Amino acid sequence: MAGQARAGITVENLSCRYREEYIFSGLGFSVKKARVTGIIGPNGSGKTTLLRCLVKLLPLETGRVFLGEEDLANLSVREIAARVGVVPQRWEANFAFTVGDLVLMGRFPHISRFQRESAGDYEVARRAMEITGLRHLADRPVTELSGGELQRVVIAQALAQTPEVLLLDEPTSHLDLNYQIETGELLQELCRNSGMTVVAVFHDLNLAARYCDELILLAHGRVLAQGAAAEVLTAENLQRAYGVKARVEKDFLTGRPFVMLLPPGKEGENTPAPAGREVLKVHLIGGGGVLAGILWELSSLGCRLSAGVLHRLDRDWEAARELGITVIEEAPFRPVGETVHRRNLEMIKEADLVLLGNIPVGPVNLKNLEAAAAALEAGKELLVCNFTPFSSRDFTNGKAAAIYEELQTAGAVFLAGPEELAAAVRRRIKQKAAAAPDR
């Protein structure tokens, strides 16, 4: 499989249609040789159609497709099959061919009608099964295979074609997680070791980002963006292509972009309450990531949120910033200072409800616990997330524990878990709405 002529793909001014409906008009892009290129895009954007056009399964209305230097129009179906292998999205086996038989069928475009399979053909098929880990299944009828194994058979068959280009249509969508990763790794290896050009349609943006050298974002019948994953997977592009709000982060392990989808209308700002409804103002005391999910949940419930004192770069701080919440902040690792503490207390004064997260308490943020106590003294309603025993979160040699116990005696509501928290907040929202004067 090594040492072959290398082919990239060039698509020029491609138009094609199903019956009257145009899927593409004037599509153009090129795919680099010996790279994994991912095609992403919403359903109906023509990803599968595009793959079909690349192997002449669909006639082109206009335009040309080049495999390397060669115009696809000048190649027969057989010649194309000798250069391009296709792994379709779904493929059912309802006949009793063995895995070996099926993989050997990949040799079809290389064998003359008047010949039998040669020893060389068997060798290629054997290699393809080895690469895909099917060697031990060679004599097994395909009807007995699991979905994941079957998918590998189809890949092995395509590899037995010894193609210069491998096209895959959502190769991982029916696979278990472990095989998704293995398939992704396999694609990268085929590029690196065999110089194969791989073009794969991905449904899962994160898998695409992780395993593709380059991405092509298709939407509305055209290429919306093409380039490295980080350039293509941006919140703007995803909004334009999928109409969704998304957050793109850099995965801290792989360094690849990582996409998180947000429900519509909840990104960026603390959602303004519907007119004519009183909004529950909640101040949250957190730090160390304990507010994960809580900020989100309360924001979804329509509360107006503020948070403090949070250390900059802290997880809770990042989340609060992402949600556009007013944050009282302190520099990283620095004990909460007097001024900041005072501002925190002022925020508390404005709130209807104060919520103390399930925070660990140490010298750096002892002031936050004091702020909670102060809130209670000021007659504010205090909810305390007591999800884990405080003794395991106390790093002040008991100083904090004393304050914490006092909170309970002073009438704070202790909550054992997130469900209780949500219920308590919901109740409070209802009360406030009921107390509001009718207009």
Partner 1 sequence: MSFSKSGGIYPGGEINPEERQPARKGWSKGILFGGLLLLLFSLMGLALTVGPAGLSFATVVKGVAGRLPGLRGLFPGELGIIEEKILFEIRLPRIILSVLVGMALATAGAVYQGLFRNPMADPYVLGASSGAALGATIGFAVFSGRHFSSLSPVSVLAFAGALLATVLVYNLARVGRRVSLTVLLLAGIAVSTFLSSLTSMLMILQGTEMQRIVFWLMGGFSAGRWSHVFDILPFIFLGFGAVMLYARDLNLMLLGEEKAHQLGVNIPRLRVVLAFSASLLVAAAVSVSGIIGFAGLVVPHMLRLVTGPDHRRLIPVSALAGGVFLLAADTVARTILAPTELPVGVITAFLGAPFFIYLLRKGKKAGTML
**125/309 with CB nearer partner 1:** 125
Q: Rounded distance, CA 380 to CA 130, Å?
A: 68
Instruction: Please select the residue that binds partner 1; options are 106, 288, 357, 360, rule is CB under 8 A.
Output: 106
Q: Which is nearer to partner 1, 108 or 414 (CB)?
A: 108
CA distance 113 to 119: 16
- Residue 144-183 contact track with partner 1, rule CB under 8 A, x = bound: --------x----xx--x--------------------x-
Our measurement of the distance from residue 379's CA atom to the centroid of its chain's CA atoms, rounded to an integer in Å, reads 44
Strand partners, 148: none
What part of residues 195-224 is at the interface with partner 1 (CB under 8 A)? 210-211
Shortest Cβ 86–partner 1 spacing (Å): 4
Contact flags string 55-94 toward partner 1, x per CB under 8 A: xxx------------------xxxxxxx-xxx-x--xx-x
Torsions phi, psi of 170, nearest 5?
A: 45, 65
Q: How far apart are CA 282 and CA 359, in angstroms?
A: 17
* Minimum CB–partner distance for residue 64 and partner 1 (Å): 20
Q: Which is nearer to partner 1, 142 or 347 (CB)?
A: 142
The distance of closest approach from Cβ of residue 406 to partner 1 in the complex, given in angstroms and rounded to an integer, is 52
Sign of the torsion formed by the C-alpha atoms of 402, 406, 408 and 414:
negative
Total binding residues for partner 1 by CB under 8 A? 59
Q: Which residues pair with 384 in a beta bridge?
A: 356, 414
Contact 226, 232 (CB under 8 A): yes
Residue 31 binding partner 1, by CB under 8 A: no
Binding of partner 1 by 252 (CB under 8 A): no
Binding mask 39-58 vs partner 1 (x if CB under 8 A, - otherwise)?
----------------xxx-
* Cα distances (Å, whole numbers) of residue 62 to 15, 52, 80, 100: 5, 15, 19, 40
Helical segments of 255-390, H only: 294-300, 315-322, 338-350, 366-377
CB of 132 or CB of 237, closer to partner 1: 132
CA–CA separation, 126 and 133 (whole Å)? 10
Binding positions for partner 1, rule: CB under 8 A: 55-57, 76-82, 84-86, 88, 91-92, 94-98, 100-102, 105-106, 108-109, 111, 113-114, 122, 130-139, 143, 152, 157-158, 161, 182, 185-186, 188-189, 192-193, 210-211, 254-256
